Amino acid sequence: MSRIAVAGFQHETNTFASLQATLADFQAADAWPGLTAGPAMFAAVRGINLPAAGFIDEARSLGHELAPLLWCSAQPSAHVTRDAFETIASRLLELLSAEHSLDAVYLDLHGAMVAEHIEDADGELLERVRRAIGPDVLLVASLDFHANVSPRMVAHADALVSFRSYPHVDMTDTGVRAAALLHDSLQNPARAKWHRSLPFLMPLTSQCTLIEPLHSVMEHARRLERDPILSLCLTPGFPAADVPECGPAIFGFAREPAPLERAAHELAEAVLGREAEFALSTILIDSAVRIARDADVPRGRPLILADTQDNPGAGGNADTTSLLKALIASGVEGVLAGVFWDAECAARAHAAGRGASVELQLGAHTGYPGETPITARFTVEQLGDGRFTGTGPFYLGGRFELGPMALLRVGEVRVVVASRKQQAADAAMFRHVGAEPSQARVLVLKSSVHFRADFGGFASRIVLVEAPGPNLADPARLPFTRLPAGKRLKPRT
């Protein structure tokens, strides 16, 4: 039996977004727990599709004793403030230094965190933890599929392991893999590491593992991860980050260098050989509206329009209105849209009450250029307190706290609004206010890819729409200044 300290500190930073992640953002619960320290952390993550939850269960069943430090995350956004990073990192290290006789530390990280004052915040955190524990205590971390992995992160960890799916339906499983990896490493640690960045940025919507080419590439990666390789990972990266390590990377840990090197090269070739297939595939609002108006949509099999550029899971604010306005103006029937982040509209709907008709200005409150609210008289169809449990494969078990919510209707369009922003990636976010997404004719979702886990099964067609929004679908349109020379901003076709 070994003694293992457990901590989590996750953020996916869109350095081009407008709102920063403050300490309060990490303290508040959303679909995932707010900042929780000490033994309460175990209960906070239990049963949720999160790496820490999988790690804790698996490490315990392997007979290890666990020391809880803290766990927190915040919604993807612009930089983590200096105050938030330093407060949380100091608290983590303080709790770590109070632990004695540790054999290992496990960190549940995202891998694409950028703080105001530190470009590679995950590398910095791993380095600080390494400095605190010394060279002989094992340090293992799990990473998101969107990690922008740096050599510094690889250098300070004894092993790293990342998700293999997007939508991330394997977060718990990745924690289980991390526990198994750590368990093996306690007996016989990795002696070889490998890390290489790939030379092009991959648009988020092309990173989906339910479709080609990544479906096959990830299967290939899974087959290559075998003894003496402890972990072999491909992270497509989070493209909206102006940092030198932005983009896809391959990394691994093994007991012998040569097989790792061979497998890593083979995986790199598998990605590079299909580069053209990663090209962005989106349509503009006019085409989307035409499709939505004219489509012959079977009952119970909605057409999904993914409003990817306003995805709050990647730095959007879930409040742009252009797509919805165009659908309203064209009289498109049977539209259900969500989830808008608009605390004021939610509050006014609650004040007016269920069944009331109320004049509202919906959306566009965060000031994205050119966006204006939808000013109309809405009917308040249903209200909710924003507290419910995730039921889809991605947010499974998540104990949502989205504040007051409402289902509003204007003509043929119904809109779900919440008081906290959260990616529309779970049908429970709609059912909570009485809207059944599978019964809509046209479903408009503030999401890029994660929605596919819970909504993809009943969709008759999925269309990725490039409506105005802060999360630009095409990385080539982002004003990068920190990328190394030679990095391609889009796949070569």
Residue number with CB closer to Zn ion (81 or 174): 174
95-128: burial string, b at 16+ Cβ within 10 Å, e else: bbeeeeebbbbbbbbbbbbbbbebbbbbbbbbbb
Shortest separation between residue 12's beta carbon and Zn ion, angstroms: 6
* Region for residue 486 given its phi and psi (left: phi exceeds 0; alpha: psi -120 to 50; beta: otherwise): left
| Residue 144 sits in the site that holds Zn ion (CB under 5 A) | yes
Shortest separation between residue 45's beta carbon and Zn ion, angstroms: 17
Shortest separation between residue 229's beta carbon and Zn ion, angstroms: 24
User: Using CB under 5 A, which of the segments 63-71, 144-152, 268-276, 369-377 binds Zn ion?
Assistant: 144-152
With CA atoms as reference, report the closest residue to 468 among 282, 262, 270, 260: 282
With CA atoms as reference, report the closest residue to 319 among 366, 256, 354: 366
| Residue 122 sits in the site that holds Zn ion (CB under 5 A) | no
With CA atoms as reference, report the closest residue to 6 among 53, 68, 57: 68
Shortest separation between residue 151's beta carbon and Zn ion, angstroms: 21
Provide CB contacts within 8 A for 208, sequence distance 6+.
166, 167, 214, 449, 452
Tokens of 353: 């009450």
Residue number with CB closer to Zn ion (144 or 426): 144
Shortest separation between residue 428's beta carbon and Zn ion, angstroms: 20
Residue number with CB closer to Zn ion (120 or 158): 120
User: Using CB under 5 A, which of the segments 71-79, 122-130, 137-145, 297-305 binds Zn ion?
Assistant: 137-145
The residues facing 161 across adjacent strands are 142
With CA atoms as reference, report the closest residue to 320 among 164, 149, 446, 450: 446
Tokens of 461: 């067609």
| Residue 164 sits in the site that holds Zn ion (CB under 5 A) | no
Instruction: Classify residue 180 as exposed, middle or buried by CB count within 10 Å of its CB (0-12, 13-18, 19+).
Output: middle
Residue number with CB closer to Zn ion (58 or 144): 144
User: Using CB under 5 A, which of the segments 85-93, 119-127, 140-148, 354-362 binds Zn ion?
Assistant: 140-148
> How far, in Å, CA of 493 to CA of 485, rounded?
19
Shortest separation between residue 219's beta carbon and Zn ion, angstroms: 19
Contact 399, 424 (CB under 8 A): no
Shortest separation between residue 268's beta carbon and Zn ion, angstroms: 21
Residue type, 373: P
Shortest separation between residue 416's beta carbon and Zn ion, angstroms: 23
Pairing status of strand 229-235 against strand 249-254:
antiparallel
| Residue 108 sits in the site that holds Zn ion (CB under 5 A) | no
User: Using CB under 5 A, which of the segments 41-49, 92-100, 138-146, 317-325 binds Zn ion?
Assistant: 138-146
Residue number with CB closer to Zn ion (25 or 144): 144
Contact 147, 237 (CB under 8 A): yes
> How far, in Å, CA of 229 to CA of 144, rounded?
20
Residue number with CB closer to Zn ion (146 or 164): 146
Residue number with CB closer to Zn ion (96 or 153): 153
Name the residue whose CB lies closest to Zn ion. 146
Shortest separation between residue 424's beta carbon and Zn ion, angstroms: 15
- The count of C-alpha atoms lying within 13 angstroms of the C-alpha of 122, restricted to the half-sphere facing its C-beta, is 31
Shortest separation between residue 247's beta carbon and Zn ion, angstroms: 14
With CA atoms as reference, report the closest residue to 48 among 432, 320, 420, 401: 401
Residue number with CB closer to Zn ion (12 or 381): 12
User: Using CB under 5 A, which of the segments 57-65, 145-153, 177-185, 360-368 binds Zn ion?
Assistant: 145-153
Maximal CA-CA distance, the chain: 69
User: Using CB under 5 A, which of the segments 143-151, 257-265, 399-407, 438-446 binds Zn ion?
Assistant: 143-151
User: Using CB under 5 A, which of the segments 69-77, 139-147, 221-229, 437-445 binds Zn ion?
Assistant: 139-147
Binding residues for Zn ion, total number by CB under 5 A: 2
Residue number with CB closer to Zn ion (14 or 321): 14
| Residue 146 sits in the site that holds Zn ion (CB under 5 A) | yes
Tokens of 398: 């998540």
Residue number with CB closer to Zn ion (74 or 303): 74
Which residues here bind Zn ion, judged by CB under 5 A? 144, 146
